[in-house]
Structures are given as C-alpha cells and as structure tokens.
Structure 1
Amino acid sequence: MENYFDNITITSIGTNAINSPNITKVTIPNTVTTIGVSAFSGCINLTDIKIPSSVTTISDHAFSDCRSLTNITIPSSV
C-alpha cells in the first residue's frame, strides 16, 4: 500500500485516520498541512514516511505504536 494517498486531494490527515498493519510506506501529498492526533497510530509495519514542506503541524502521538518506523522525512516547516 505504498501509494495509499495517490489520486486523493486532502488537506489534513485527521485524528486516528489510518490504523492499518498493511501499510509499510507513505508519501504524504503536498496538499496536506496538518497531521492529526494519533493519525497513524497502530500502523505497526510502517517503515518509511515522507512528509512534505506543506505540513506545518504534526499533532501529539501522530505515529504512536509505529514501532517499525525507521525512516521519516520531516521538513523544517514543522
């Protein structure tokens, strides 16, 4: 599910939005400005996430329980 957000125009990823053990990689589109509380909580197999410079807010516990996360790109805009 590497291309989970492809072809979807979104501006924020809400509270508890994604909770899937099937997701391993995510590239957040540059239309997103906010990642909500526990947005990816429980994505236990998520290893790689790329956050664009359009994101200015990453809320508390956005990646809690993402114990496989080894590569995260966080822009200076956060």
Structure 2
Amino acid sequence: MLIGFGRRDGDVALTVSNDGIGLSAASGQASSGLGSRFIDAFAKQLGGTLAMASGHGGGTTFTVRLPKTILADVPA
C-alpha cells in the first residue's frame, strides 16, 4: 500500500493505492461501498472530489482532491 499527500495543480491531494485484485473484480461495482460513499460525501462537503481508478492487472488508487484553502495557516 502506498499513501501520498501533497499539492497538485493548486489543490491538496491525498492518494491511497494498492496492488490488490482491484475493486471491480472483488465487488462487481467500483464505488458503491459505504466507505467510498462516506469519503465522497466528506470530500464534497469540503469542496473537493474523490476519484477511483482500478488497473486491468489489479490494484486500485483512490485520490481525494481538496482546495488548498482547507489548510490552516500555521506560523513558522
């Protein structure tokens, strides 16, 4: 499993990916699970998006993109 967090195209992106069998092979439906629906709803509440990609050879990647305005300005 790989987890990444950083800025991308002016947004903040959290990416989680694995090399498993992929969601569509495991469940028959890519993003109908309760967890996916919760994450999608939370992202939308913050003005962001959830994207999911599952490779043909397996593996799945979820990317949550949020506006950079969600980050608090912390004094250095």
Larger radius of gyration, structure 1 or 2?
2
Q: Do both share a fold (TM > 0.5)?
A: no
Name the one with the larger strand percent.
2
TM-score w.r.t. the length of structure 2 is 0.24
Structure number with higher relative contact order (C-alpha < 8 Å, ≥ 6 residues apart): 2
